[in-house]
Structure 1
Amino acid sequence: MHDAAFQELEIISQAVGNFPDMVQGGGGNTSVKLNDELMAVKASGYKLKQVTRSEGFVLVNYKDIKDYFARADLNSDIDYEKDSTAFLKKSVVKVEGLRDLRPSVEAGFHSILLKYVIHSHSVYANILCCSKKGEEIIRKVFSGKHYNILWVPYVNPGFYLTLKIQEGIKCHIEKGGKFPKVIFMENHGLIVNSDSREEVIKLHEEVNESIKTFLHINSPYPEITLERVNDNTYLSRTTFLTDFFKNNLISPDYFDVVALYPDQLVYLNDNISVDGMDNKLNINTKTGEIIYKSSFSEAMTMEETLLGYVYVVSKIKQCNLPIKTMTPEEIGFIKNWESEKYRKTLIK
């Protein structure tokens, strides 16, 4: 019955999901609205490249989700982080043939956007989103474009991020702007949305190419190579990574001190051992060697996330930009958030 819309979700998901410079591991999400009530949205923990017309997504009643956020009373004693997560689960509409999955925790902001939505963790966007000068540069790069942009200061993912985006859109329109088709989220990533499937894909490409041109990024993104040692041990042969760790002084707490965005915390920080061999991701700073003690799927997720993180850090440094890191409170929220713990369990 909804096969055409499900195929469209597959198309926009694959347009981004097959490129590790756009999404890493289970990061990013997509959605397509079918009518005035129903929306197909990527399932939590799934990789965008795993989304097909019959797998990796759920159908939700987005009208109910929009209404939920519109009537939220922040003066009440409701724990909206927990309550909204439970509400998103209840919004799922059962479809014969689809697995019983959990909607992306970001289905909230998908519900308030246009028909087609792509949310990526593009490394090029995050070079700016993770810089203190990011908003200033983005407004310069995209000045005069035919589409409106919105900058959203960092707020914890989930309920309050949806409210922040909702508030930002309202203020933008009240000031005379059109509905923003491009949204940059500080220390998080990029959202593009449109009522045209072709435009949303084209917009995502154009935004990233504009940033690359402005920052003079001409070299291709580093290629990822993992070498199998045995079923539960893999060796990184990604030269960009091994060179970085061999040529930079990395302390054991480096990843906690330089925390850039939620996916780093979900997929990397608790799994890393610097100059040790007692964790899933083990880095030798003298040789640059990186050894994974995990399944291939988990090793690849960590490798993609590690490369994205190191690439962003390196480019921020090359461009002489001031880095913007997450606060201890923001880090603590992500590490203790049930939704992110759930997503982390799925990478195996």
Structure 2
Amino acid sequence: MVELEKLRALSARVGADPLLVQAAGGNTSLKEPGVMWIKASGTWLKDAAARDIFVPLDHAAIMAALARSDPACESCTDFLRTDLNATGLRPSIETTVHALMPQRVVVHVHCVNTIAWAIRADAEQRLAERLHEFSWIFIPYARPGLPLAGAISARLRPGVDVLVLGNHGLVVAADTVEEADALLARVVAAVARPVRSAALVDHAALAILCTGKPYRPAAMEETHALATDPLALRRGKASVFYPDHVVFLGVGVATSFAGDPPLVAIPGVGVVIRDDAKSAIEPMGRCLADVMRRVEEQDELVALTAEDVDRLVNWDAEKYRQTLKVN
């Protein structure tokens, strides 16, 4: 399947860009006659060229189930085509988003620049100024799974190939991998936002703070901006603005070692990561720093509510994703 191989290559490239995908976030898919191939839950897109991360599903069965609001659409495991691939992995938690788009190729990313717009109170209005040349729609925040599928169905119209998901990310769709790749690049360029310069990191102070503790300084310089950029820390330390933040980091950001959190942002100094933290932790910390460096003081932001957070952390599909070692 030539097109699936092309999708693997695109997925690996997109997955290696921290401004588009962080850790196990994001997903891609391809519809072929009788089957839809989609990234497996908890796998990393950057690994797409090196390992088998795609699982096959019965696309027609998913669409029929969505039409009757079947609870099986929450996990979509009932629709796996084990005759084609028996990896034992579950399909992406956002399978229904891909199934609803009529195009053959769908790419969903947690684009940092898109999120910086999508968490604003005036997101739809401001994005309209930048995406007027695209056939796009804005989808207000809804929990992935059936709630998000319902929100998309209510707004989707013929010809739409770009979705901006409020407090979540970006979806582009096309009939070939090359077209999806080109569309993604055009949209990402259109939503680019200025980035505040990050303050210098005090590596010597971080080393002293980690002495005798099971912590190490964050590896990526960009991650430290979560602690050295006052606005980023003030805005990010107590709120949750998109799903993967709460799934991996919990609510807000820890600023002390109390309770042994997986990530600590030490104000004015830098960020440290617990030695036994999952590999997803630092990418998620950097993502928050990257998003918040694209937000200005006057921007009115909309955080997820306590109810939104509760629905995410108690969702069976997310509990499964958390158990995977690839996280």
State the TM-score bracket (shorter-chain normalisation). Answer: 0.7 to 0.9
Contact 2:196 2:293 in 1 (8 A): no
Shift, 1:98, TM fit: 4.9
Q: SS at the partner of 2:30?
A: strand
Q: SS at the partner of 1:316?
A: coil
Q: How many residues align?
A: 315
Against the structure 1 CA distance between its residues 273 and 195, is the aligned structure 2 distance closer, same or farther, given a 3 Å change threshold? same
Are 1:321 and 2:304 an aligned pair? no
Q: Pick one of 317, 330, 334 that aligns with 2:312.
A: 334
Are 1:205 and 2:193 an aligned pair? no
Q: SS at the partner of 2:296?
A: helix
Against the structure 1 CA distance between its residues 286 and 162, is the aligned structure 2 distance closer, same or farther, given a 3 Å change threshold? same
CA distance in 2, matches of 1:250, 1:179: 37
* Aligned residue number for residue 62 of structure 1: 59
* Aligned residue number for residue 272 of structure 2: 290
Contact 1:272 1:280 in 2 (8 A): no
* Aligned residue number for residue 136 of structure 1: 125
Q: TM-score, normalised by structure 2?
A: 0.86
Contact 1:129 1:187 in 2 (8 A): yes
Contact 1:250 1:285 in 2 (8 A): no
Cα shift readout 1:247-292 (whole Å, capped 9, x = no counterpart): 538989964x321000001111269642115132233335324132
Contact 2:31 2:104 in 1 (8 A): yes
Q: Which runs of 5+ in 2 are unaligned?
A: none
Q: Which runs of 5+ in 1 are unaligned?
A: 73-77
Are 1:191 and 2:189 an aligned pair? no
Q: Pick one of 80, 90, 101 that aligns with 1:92.
A: 80
Contact 2:94 2:144 in 1 (8 A): yes
Shift, 1:302, TM fit: 1.2
Identity %: 24
Are 1:107 and 2:105 an aligned pair? no
Against the structure 1 CA distance between its residues 219 and 340, is the aligned structure 2 distance closer, same or farther, given a 3 Å change threshold? same
Runs of 4+ deviating beyond 4 Å: 95-98, 216-220, 227-230, 249-254
* Aligned residue number for residue 145 of structure 2: 158
Cα shift readout 1:44-82 (whole Å, capped 9, x = no counterpart): 00011112386111000011001111123xxxxx7x3xx
Q: TM-score, normalised by structure 1?
A: 0.81
Q: After alignment, is 9-18 or 239-248 more displaced?
A: 239-248
Contact 2:22 2:283 in 1 (8 A): yes
CA distance in 2, matches of 1:154, 1:235: 34
Are 1:32 and 2:25 an aligned pair? no
